[in-house]
Amino acid sequence: MPSLIIKNGFVYDPVNGINGDVTDIFIEDGKVVKETDESNAKVIDARGKTVMPGGVDSHSHIAGAKVNTGRIMRPEDSRRHAVAKTDITRSGTGETVPTVALTGYEYAALGYTTVMEAAMPPLEALHTHEEMLHIPIIDKGAYQVYGNNWFVMKYLKEGDLDKCAAYVAWLMRRNKGCGIKIVNPAGVENWKWGKNVGSLDEKIDNFDISSREIIEGLCRVNEMLELPMSIHLHANNLGKPGNHEITRDSLKIVENIKVNSPNNGSGRKQNLYLAHAQFNSFEGTGWADFASGSKSITDYLNANDHVVLDLGAVPFGNATVMTGDGPAIHYIHKLTGGKWSNKDIEVECGSGVIPFEYLTTKPIHCIQWAIGLELALYVDDLNKVIMTTDHPNGGPFSKYPKLIAWLMSSKARADTAEIIHKLGVERTRITSTDRELSLYDIATVTRATPARTIGLLHRKGHLGEGADGDVTIYDINQGDFDSSDYKKIEEKFSRAAYTIKGGEVIVVNGIIKKVNSGRTFWVDRHVDEDVEKEMLKDVKEDFKYYTTNFDNYGVDMHYLSNPTNI
């Protein structure tokens, strides 16, 4: 592979404190280096353009059983968005739930090079990896769902953190996961009996355990194992008025648990990563007095350093709501009607899927739009904020440029506030701040913070020596940048001038020029051999309740593209 030099660009690399300086980037053998032999290098002149590390999306739903169900349920999605094949790319369909190949192409065209699947059910891990195997270009990995797992709840109830840690480590190796995901802890298990939980201390049937105990226990296990990423928490009462209180109280549970980030330069500073915070930042006693509860969450983040959140923002338009929180989806279905799928995944998880459309005429949707932006605009330190739409729940990732425009332009927000339902302004703080994120800030919330949060800062999210040679160049000149011209901001972020993946030019002016295979990240952790043997006796005994044989459970390495252990 020839060396690559990117010259004369305005570089934004928050990890290394580079804020728009004209700096040259050297890439050799797929990695950023201090310098390289120019005589044998390909040179890209980025004069007058913005240079950032490749984008990192730390919370997206791109593969697995519920994603595929979303495709099946949305034939209209395919009709509305069909892309023809080219000499080097496959055809594809789907705006809110793109087919696997289209997912890779469209992320790359936006300048993203790393994307994480946010919820992999253990029993459906093979399905998830088979889909990720066929997503081109981007590096990826999957967070595995543990929050309602029988063995996790059993060991935590017994107070046996050693066996719980052994189980988590074994299952992560078995299924090639790379983080602990907790979805509506205790509530999803209760859903199997037609129930949910409404408080952190409500004990559920059969296991006699509460959400609080699961969150605290798995956080302690995560730090015992020194996993690259903190626990990724989808809090209880998602989508219900007043849920900001249980969300804030959930964050408090782990305040005093020490962070044991692995000593590999991955950079994790927090012990809790709050998922799609918009959906858990609601105020009100019901839908009649529904309002933004974002202040409760942003005030907490401004006062505490152990939490990072991603937005789960709503850019209006079509979406497909899908989550491992089965009871929450059924609740939304009962409110809205229409198609609904319940994906109850044996003893480990339970999810749901519904098509959805966020409208500027609906007061609730407009308040949600405001909440998603407030969570970024009112947090002082953007090292605690990650820009997402919880694709495809708040909206598809293809609308990230619109989200960037709102964050960078107070005029964009003001103009939108003029056309939406008035309650979107009256019951929120959206017009009470004129804060505008800079290009440096955008690089923080789309590159640096997600890479650090998921434990990949040693290779992603920055352009320092040793980083992966993933670079995005946007046709944005800081010299004539005008935040009031928000349509131009959206246009420029919609098509990367160049996307470079591992030192290879993949995208030019939004067009795919080369297709390669990305990595699949996974975590290999081991505990005391005797503890693991005792744990496996329990697992094998209870596998009689599973619909698959123990020996057929798990994912072999050949299902991973370029497997990379972190």
pLDDT digits (tens, 9 = 90+) for 220-235: 999 999 999 999 999 9
**Quick one: pLDDT band at residue 265, thresholds 50, 70, 90?**
low
pLDDT one-digit tens code per residue, 160-211: 999 999 999 999 999 999 999 999 999 999 999 899 999 999 999 999 999 9
What is the per-residue pLDDT for 122?
94
**Quick one: pLDDT band at residue 264, thresholds 50, 70, 90?**
low
Q: What is the mean pLDDT of residues 398-405?
A: 98
**Quick one: pLDDT band at residue 250, thresholds 50, 70, 90?**
very high
Residue 39 above 90 pLDDT? no
CB atoms within 10 A of CB 2: 11
Q: Retrieve residue 7's tokens.
A: 């010259």
Report the chain's mean pLDDT, rounded to a whole number: 96
Residue 81 above 90 pLDDT? yes
Q: What domains are there in the chain, each with its CATH number?
A: 55-361+379-397+437-462 (3.20.20)
What is the per-residue pLDDT for 1?
74
From residue 381, how far is each of 36, 301, 303 by CA, in Å?
A: 35, 9, 10
Residue 213 above 90 pLDDT? yes
Contact 177, 171 (CB under 8 A): yes
What is the per-residue pLDDT for 263?
60
Q: What is the value of pTM for the model shown?
A: 0.97
Please identify which residue in the block is written with the tokens 């500027």.
360
What is the per-residue pLDDT for 262?
67
CB atoms within 10 A of CB 396: 24
What is the per-residue pLDDT for 343?
81
pLDDT one-digit tens code per residue, 343-376: 876 778 999 999 999 999 999 999 999 999 999 9
How far apart (Å, rounded) are the C-alpha atoms in residues 324 and 198?
17
Q: What is the mean pLDDT of residues 442-447?
A: 98
How far apart (Å, rounded) are the C-alpha atoms in residues 58 and 142?
10
Q: Retrieve residue 103's tokens.
A: 């997912």
Residue 284 above 60 pLDDT? yes
pLDDT one-digit tens code per residue, 85-100: 999 999 999 999 999 9
Q: Which element (helix H / strand E) includes 408?
A: helix 400-408
Burial of residue 182, with CB atoms counted within 10 A of its CB: 0-12 exposed, 13-18 middle, 19 or more buried:
buried
What is the per-residue pLDDT for 183?
98
Q: What is the dihedral of CA 267, 272, 278, 282, to 10 degrees?
A: -150
